[in-house]
Amino acid sequence: MKTQDTIFACASLPSGAAGGAAVALVRLCGAHCMAALQSLLQTQTLPPPRQICVRSLYHPRTGVLLDKAMVVRFVAPHSFSGEDMVELHCHGGAAVLRSLLAALAGLDNMRVAAAGEFTRRAVLAGRLDLTQAEAIADLVAAEGS
């Protein structure tokens, strides 16, 4: 696992999971995330930094429409991890999410993030301290109020 890798993962519970939602959040982080986003948008323009915009997401190789999603991009160092980052707020259905994650996995220079890797990068970049990182881990693992 290299911190310079470009990573992606679903950062929300998928539909059908306990507590799953109608909207899924897919996060991309690293040097190649803007190129990955552009390949999903095809000829559409990238949204301005830190502004959420609705965009159609297409499979980069087949051109098939995957979803219409809200897209926001964060340019380093103005992100959770301090690196370039993209968030895709897409429909939470299993088919949409599976197709989007498979499309990202098929791109060069992309890999699935390990559990806690986004937070780890934020700690390494000095964006969070260990106490804050542990609080995030506790929040993610919490089962009740």
pLDDT digits (tens, 9 = 90+) for 45-75: 999 999 999 999 999 999 999 999 999 999 9
Confidence of residue 17 (pLDDT cuts 50, 70, 90): low
| DSSP assigned state of 39 | H
pLDDT of residue 71: 98
Q: Which residues pair with 10 in a beta bridge?
A: 26
pLDDT of residue 112: 96
Confidence of residue 88 (pLDDT cuts 50, 70, 90): very high
What sign does the dihedral 65-111-53-60 (CA atoms) show?
A: negative
pLDDT of residue 85: 96
What percentage of the chain exceeds 70 in pLDDT? 90
